[in-house]
Amino acid sequence: MKNCDEIKGYMLDQVLGEVLPRDIEVELRDHLSLCPSCRRQFEEYEVAWRSLDGLKDIRFPESISLNVLRQVAAKPRVIRFLGWSSPRWRFLALAAAASLLLTAGIYILLQSGSIVDQADQPTSISSASTFVPGEVSMPDLKITMDSYLNETGNILYGIREGSYSSWGSILSEIISRDIQGRSNFLLESVDLPPHSRPVIGVLHDAFQQILRSGRGHEKDEVRLPPGINPEALLAEIEKARCEVMIVQ
Amino acid sequence: MAPTDEQLIELCKEEDVSALDELLKRYRNPLMGFIYSVIRDYHQAQDIFQETFIRVYREARRFRTGAVFKTWLYTIAINRCRDAIRKKKRRPIISLDTEWAGSDGEPGQRIMDKVASADPGPREEAGCRELEEIFQRELLGLSDEHRQVVILSRLNRFKYYEIAEILDIPSGTVRSRLHYALEELRKRMRT
């Protein structure tokens, strides 16, 4: 027969909903029937555990689920991108995503720096894909700054707020959007504020970090394909960076 | 008879969005509650929840037949949470904002203004407050690690071994954390 101290652990296990071995369960029941002190304690544990019932009343808005459904309905699976057998396709998509991420950062810069310097800054963005024409079918979109922001608002907000868990997840998101052909663009005809340079550097470093690790930061999600030469990809990113710098 | 989670995820492999919808209905409240208990930031919890389910759907084929969906789902979510916490500690994005600061005195503010979807409305803010109040009221005094196991056990009805798998800690540790938490709750009720 177990003493009160020994029985306490089983008492807690049972309150917590664990299934006890049959013999222990019988022993616990017998003990509680004979020991008023333990019985009282057991009841207190039950009351304490039930006091958390309020947690079950927590309700979150349905919009959270709807956002998920909207996104999966709008986008093809990432796995289709990852599953392409040709490394060249993946190389191209990664390179395009790199330039898109650079552009997203630059756009934030433009927004934050344009109040004083560029009150008359043009608000249209012309599409200019880094994909090789004919190899990847992408719609050539003409979108306004506002519509782009509406489209990518969550990404920009997420980057700003540090909501994304990694550069890989930002990259993954942008790749997904790019596969849709929605954010296939580069900025044109806008002057970059001088303080854009450090940020371009930061973004560039982030990609280097991804490349150095030999795969995307997110395991199995944004992976550098085995057949891809990291130097070549870096060069592509550099090229995208140069395109941006030329605009400046 | 309602389909099991595992049957639903099998349907997700065939890109059945209605199966995903059903999983979202089942897990919106408990999973969000768990993510929030780890992150304690309503908006970030929403992002992680959404990222988790998008990943579940897109990578449904990775789900092993015979495995338990619920454990898989929560493992993805906790990994996202850990990434987010690490990211916050390692490289706070806010410092980039400082560099981006314009001369308007309010760095980055214009982006916030422009992104309507990111701006929490009064209803959402009330929801955040209410949520925090519930957490404060129910779990007051418990540390992060104790709060997490309590949420997984009470709100999500996980067993010790399942919590151990999700949090990647020994079952014995789960048991002792839950025992400690329950003892603390009992003491609180006696005072």
**ipTM of predicted assembly, 2 dp:** 0.74
C-beta atoms of A69 and B185 within 8 A: no
What pTM did the predictor assign?
A: 0.54
Residue A11: per-residue pLDDT: 92
Chain A contact present for B188, CB below 8 A? yes
CA distance A38 to A45: 10
In chain B, what are the domain boundaries? Answer: 1-92
In the block, residue with structure tokens 């544990």: A45
Q: What is the mean pLDDT of chain A?
A: 55
Residues of B numbered 114-173 whose beta carbons fall under 8 angstroms of chain A's beta carbons: which are they? 114-118, 124, 127, 131, 134, 137-139, 150-151, 153-155, 157, 159-160
Distance CA A196, CA A198 (A): 6
Asked if residues B163 and B153 have their Cβ atoms less than 8 Å apart, the reply is yes
Interchain contact, A52 vs B139, CB within 8 Å: yes
Read off the tokens for B169: 């800690």
Closest Cα in chain B, distance from residue A198 (Å): 8
pLDDT tens readout for residues B67-81: 889 999 999 999 999
Q: Return the amino acid letter for B20.
A: L
State whether B104 and A195 contact (CB < 8 Å).
no
Query: In the block, which residue shows the tokens 């009150």?
Result: A119
E strands within B21-174?
A: none
Which DSSP state fits B105?
A: S
Give whichever of A134-138, A182-186, A193-197 has the largest mean pLDDT: A193-197
Residue B159 with chain A: CB contacts under 8 Å: 17-19
Of A41, A58, A112, the CB nearest to B110: A112
Judge contact between A12 and A43, C-beta under 8 A.
no
- CA–CA distances in Å: residue A28 to residues A1, A49, A50, A247, B178: 10, 19, 20, 77, 19
List the structure tokens of A247: 């605009």
pLDDT of residue A238: 46
**B94 CB within 8 Å of a chain A CB:** yes
Q: List the domain boundaries for chain A.
A: 4-57, 76-247
Q: Over 70: is that where the pLDDT of A136 sits?
A: no
Number of Cβ atoms within 10 Å of the Cβ of A75: 17
Please state, in angstroms and rounded to a whole number, the distance separating the CA atoms of residues A101 and A210: 13
Collect all residues of chain B within an 8 Å Cβ-Cβ radius of residue A112.
Answer: 97, 100-102, 107-108, 110-111
**How many helices and strands, by DSSP H and E, does chain A display?**
10, 2
In words, the CATH class of domain B1-92 is mainly alpha
Q: State how far the Cα of A104 lies from the Cα of B96, in Å rounded to an integer.
A: 13
Using a pLDDT cut of 90, give the percent of chain B over it: 37
Q: Where do we find the tokens 């309700």?
A: A59
Which pLDDT does position B123 carry in this prediction? 53
Apex A19 CA angle, A14 and A25, nearest 5: 65
Examine the pLDDT at A137 and tell me if it is beyond 50: no
Phi, psi torsion values for A142, nearest 5 degrees:
-110, 115
Residues 44-103 in A contacting B (C-alpha not used; CB under 8 Å): 44-45, 47-49, 51-52, 54-62, 64-65, 67-69, 71-73, 77-79
Enter the tokens of residue B132: 């925090």
Res A135 pLDDT > 50? no
